[in-house]
Amino acid sequence: MSAAYAVIGWPLGHTLSPVMHQAALDELGLDAAYTALPTPPGSETDRFEAVRAGALAGLNVTIPHKLAAYRAMDRLTPAAQRTGAVNTVIRDGPRLLGDNTDPYGFSEALRQFGNFDPAGASVVVLGAGGAARAAVLALLDTGARRILIANRTPARAHQLVQDLQPHSDIPIDACALTDARLPRHLAAAQLLVNTTSVGMSGGPAPGESPVPPDRLHPNLFVYDIVYRPAVTPLLAAAQDCGAPTLGGLEMLVMQGAASLQQWTGRPAPARTMLAAARAALNADPS
């Protein structure tokens, strides 16, 4: 009997998950199919119960269902507990295990595809939502020297600091994107991470960069987790000034590879997944 895997979200739009996961399942020689299941809010519980019943062998969860998944699980991995969200549902006998592979995906993409080790680095993170939380947790685990969270609404950035600082000796600070201190922090930083939607195709500011180009420098690694377009305005500006860069497609692939490995017990062919995702993105960059 063929195994069925899926991603749920609302709306799902042009999700790359089916193409990259199917490429991996096929390479592994598994009799399995991965599909996208658009799931309006309020109907996500049926998807979770389908995993429990075995109708689905595993599930990826994206916006807006990550918190609902967190609350619906029987058990949570430490990563899910720390992030307060679930993006991977795993069938564990009659029980549901919830994981969050975003921190792993963030770190592994940076290490494997960016060839950058954030240990000892001064880091600026733009944004204060769920993606920023995953990024900061990953940076704490990899030993960043200090982290500044800059957000359009500074109260959200300060709340994230309050949530995470008690669990780490690494100093974390927060400020507004318009704070006069931000240029100084960027000048001293070795890593800039964008977790906002600024520069994203279809987002509120697709042609903009979250920071002015003149605040970038060649000694700053620029990591934009947006992957549509492949080269955002921020990444283009960083490349123009000679800074090393990494887009968000690699993080998407690595968090997906971690999910697939948990479902199948087999190492996921991440580079096959990346090639499939990149081909699909190039074919439909919107």
H or E element that contains 5: strand 3-9
Q: Can you name the residues that pair with 194 across neighbouring β-strands?
A: 126, 224
Give the separation between CA 281 and CA 286, rounded to whole angstroms: 8
117-243 and 3-101+250-283 share a CATH fold:
yes
Can you give the residue ranges of every domain in the chain?
Answer: 3-101+250-283, 117-243
Q: Is the pLDDT of residue 1 over 70?
A: no
Amino acid 284: pLDDT: 82
Query: Long-range contacts of range 240-248, CB-CB < 8 Å, 24 or more positions apart?
Result: 240/213, 241/213, 241/216, 241/217, 242/218, 243/216, 243/217, 243/218, 243/219, 244/114, 244/116, 245/221, 246/109, 246/110, 246/113, 246/114, 246/116, 246/221, 246/222, 248/224
Of 91 and 286, more confident: 91
* Among the listed residues 259, 219, 185, 282, the one whose alpha carbon sits nearest the alpha carbon of residue 21: 259
* pLDDT above 70 (res 210): yes
Rounded Cα distance, 239 and 254, in Å: 23
* pLDDT, tens digit, 9 for 90 and up, residues 243-282: 999 999 999 999 999 999 999 999 999 999 999 999 999 9
pLDDT (tens digit per residue) in 28-67: 999 999 999 999 999 999 999 999 999 999 999 999 999 9
CB of 239 closer than 8 Å to CB of 233:
no
Residue 167 has pLDDT above 70, yes or no: yes
Please say if the pLDDT value at position 214 is more than 70: yes
| Average pLDDT along the chain | 96
The reported pLDDT for the residue numbered 116 is 98
Query: How would residue 202 be classed by pLDDT, with cut points 50, 70 and 90?
Result: confident
Rounded to an integer, the average pLDDT of 115-125 is 98
Look at domain 117-243 and name its CATH class.
alpha beta
Please give the CATH architecture assigned to the domain spanning 3-101+250-283. 3-Layer(aba) Sandwich (3.40)
Contact assessment for residue 117 and residue 141, using Cβ atoms and an 8 Å cutoff: no
Query: Phi-psi bin for 13: left (phi > 0), alpha (psi -120 to 50), beta?
Result: left
For residue 223, what are the contacts with CB-CB under 8 A and spacing of at least 6? 110, 114, 116, 191, 192, 193, 194, 245, 246
Q: How far is CA 150 from CA 77, 168, 172, 275, in A?
A: 28, 19, 11, 33
Catalytic residue numbers read 66
Q: How many CB atoms lie within 10 A of CB 28?
A: 15
Q: Could you tell me where the beta strands, DSSP code E, fall in 67-203?
A: 75-76, 88-92, 95-99, 122-126, 146-151, 172-176, 191-194
pLDDT (average), residues 9-33? 96
Residue 97 to residue 74: CA distance in whole angstroms = 6
